């Protein structure tokens, strides 16, 4: 699992460099998210545009990542591909996270 992190303005952008987040990498993902978001801006944007598939374990790992941030910080999700978006919609996790069609949309919201 590989994550890349950059800070732009008041948001930290974490890009997932893997084509899937599934049971085989859920634990690693959660651990990597913990170390990447240790300290840093209040708002974290997870760029999922390179992820074509997620299963319920991967979904659970993203939920766990948001819990790790605690109540004072927030995890927004950007660039959900169709299958990933469907898993969020079916499980109603789309009502828990702020979802943005693209990273640019997420950053524009931030500016406004």
Please report, as ranges, the residues that interact with other proteins according to CB under 8 A.
20, 22-25, 53, 55-57, 59-61, 63-64, 66-67, 71, 82-83, 86-87, 90-93, 95-96
As measured in angstroms, the least distance from the Cβ of 22 to other proteins is 5
Nearer to other proteins, 63 or 107 (CB): 63
The two tokens of residue 71 are 């109540």
Question: Concatenated DSSP letters for 31-60?
Answer: HHHHHHTSS--SEEEEE-TT--EE-HHHHH
CB atoms within 10 A of CB 12: 21
As measured in angstroms, the least distance from the Cβ of 111 to other proteins is 26
Given 3-state DSSP classes, what are the helix, strand and coil percentages for the chain, each rounded to the nearest 5? 40, 25, 35
Nearer to other proteins, 88 or 100 (CB): 88
As measured in angstroms, the least distance from the Cβ of 108 to other proteins is 25
């Amino acid at each position: 699992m590989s994550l890349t992190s950059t800070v732009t303005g008041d948001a930290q952008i974490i890009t997932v460099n893997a084509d899937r987040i599934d049971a085989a990498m859920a634990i690693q993902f959660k651990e990597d998210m913990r170390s990447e978001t240790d300290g840093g801006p209040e708002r974290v944007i997870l760029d999922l545009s390179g992820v074509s598939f997620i299963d319920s374990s991967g979904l659970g790992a993203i939920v766990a990542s948001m819990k790790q941030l605690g109540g004072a910080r927030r995890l927004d999700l950007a660039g959900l591909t169709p299958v990933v978006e469907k898993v969020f919609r079916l499980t109603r996790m789309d009502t828990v996270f702020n979802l943005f069609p693209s990273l640019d949309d997420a950053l524009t919201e931030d500016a406004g």
